[in-house]
Amino acid sequence: MLTDARFAVPLGGLLLSAVATDSPMLVLRAVHWWRELGRLGIDVPFFVAHDFGLLLSVPRDQIQIGPRPAADDHVGRVPGLAALAKAYRSLVEEVAGGDMSKSAEALRLSDDLVVVALARVLAALGRKTERSVSSPWMLPLDPELVRDLGRALPRLFASVSRESDAAFLRALVHARLRVLTLVDSLDVDTLRLLGILGTDTTAIGALGYVDLLAALGSPMASDIVNFSLELLPGVFETTRARAAGTHPAHGYGGIGINGTADSMVLSELAWDSEEFARRMLDGELLYFTRDRAPDEARRLHCILIDASASMRGDREVFARGLAIALGKKLQLAGEEVWLRFFDSRLYDAQRPRGRGHLPAAWLLGFKGERGRNPARVFAQLATELSLVRARDARDPVVHIITHAALHVPRPLVHDVQRQARLFGVFILPSGGALDLEWLDLMAGYATVDHTTLQHRGSRAEAATRIVDGMAPRPPR
């Protein structure tokens, strides 16, 4: 496979690499990162994605920083490339000495988060340099690709021109301070939270990276993340308890047409073979049955978060952090959770695509700029709830996190309340009070005043009480 000329450009460039690993699977992970960057339109040499990705995601004891054996002899044959390679190694050493690289062992970033971090650091450079003759999609994810790669590097390096690699290194060295600043600006806490709550870009392709990039670039994300990390330790204490059992220890309770072979009524065996086969195919065989306890009603929770201008600043931090904690609490209790934003309209629901995943990146980076129209939102919500009830047997539960001035005509709230249990969290303005005519239609609500939001300890205590009060108790 290494004889294929298409692979000479990306793989041969590894001779310029300043980070090495003895694990072939880590090299394959780097191939995946490079391919995903290509999907995002970020064209960088493979060895750069390889080096920066390993620095940001792999513990230091699994990598070696420095030139590859005999690299200088081969690199020195290309005019001007030796000086650029030396400057590049110096940049890599500075990145390796930063906080982000030192946190790699604790973070253990998933491939999705590594790609997003690389995109944040290298995107601008990828647009400014000449496009490589080798596209990332040409490099397959095949273990055979990295077999005996170390010995083949000099041959692959010398087999093609290295002008594009030299051009990129020149741009990278020129933007050294910018690159170091971007690496240092990666928020370790945000990456940790995204790692805890899970990411899944496989089902939605490159659009999944858009949400992750928006989360890393949001000016409010850091405050929301810090607040969420205060709440999550208590949330993860949730355990999904199971019922002691729904079957009696001895005896049968009746006769039915559903059961297993060991509970079949013995007289059924008296039929001849043809009649027995017919009765079995038609579901007419009789079985002894046991009493069963009724199953607990299944629920579908929809968390609505106010994204209008009235929720800026501390209110936005509290609302989104509370939504993350409440959503995770409900998931741990075995419930399904949908999350939606609203302002003058109700935005599409985000449904977790993986088991236990929560769309935290979308929650952190979402921006709503459509004014405020609570009546329209509740009218749309009532319509959509009626469709959900027609298609889904589960009981909907709506949790709304909003400003106290949510003035909605009572008939609209009543339309929602007839189709779902309604809980609310109302954030009061400074010196204000909650005065809504439809509070009696709600199954429960809580208020948070301006003073509570300004004190870190009080804010976390209030959020914890709300989460504990709104999340269902697991059965015992």
- Burial class of residue 201 (count of CB atoms within 10 Å of its CB; 0-12, 13-18, 19+): buried
139 neighbors 193 (Cβ within 8 angstroms) = no
Amino acid symbol at 119:
A
Collapsed DSSP state (helix, strand, coil) of residue 369? coil
What's the pLDDT score for residue 199? 73
Spacing of C-alpha 139 from chain mean position: 27
The 10 Å Cβ neighbour count of residue 199 is 26
Cα–Cα distance measured from residue 406 to residue 372, given in angstroms and rounded to the nearest whole number: 9
Where do the H-state alpha helices sit in 371-455? 374-391, 410-417, 450-454
pLDDT in tens, the chain (476 residues): 555 566 777 888 899 999 999 888 999 999 999 988 988 888 899 999 999 999 999 988 899 999 888 788 888 888 899 999 999 999 999 999 988 888 887 888 889 899 999 999 998 886 544 545 456 666 777 777 777 787 888 888 888 888 888 999 999 999 999 999 999 989 889 999 988 887 765 545 556 788 888 888 888 888 999 999 999 988 887 555 444 444 455 567 788 888 888 888 989 999 999 899 888 888 889 988 876 544 444 789 999 999 998 898 899 999 999 999 999 999 888 888 999 999 999 999 888 765 567 888 889 988 887 788 999 999 999 999 999 888 888 889 999 999 999 999 999 999 999 999 999 999 998 878 888 999 999 999 999 998 899 888 899 999 999 998 876 554 44
Query: Domain map of the chain by residue range?
Result: 5-186, 230-240+297-470, 254-289
Chain centre distance of CA 62 = 26
Q: What is the model's pLDDT at position 8?
A: 79
Tell me the residue type at 324.
I
> How many angstroms separate the CA atoms of 243 and 476, rounded?
6
pLDDT at 206 (0 to 100): 59
* Angle, in degrees to the nearest 10, between helices 176-185 and 81-96: 20
What is the β-pairing status of strands 64-65 and 19-20?
antiparallel
Q: Which two structure tokens, joined as six digits, stand for 411?
A: 């008939």
Backbone phi, psi, residue 20, to 5°: -125, 155
Task: Give this prediction's pTM.
Answer: 0.77
State whether CATH 3.40.50.410 applies to domain 230-240+297-470.
yes
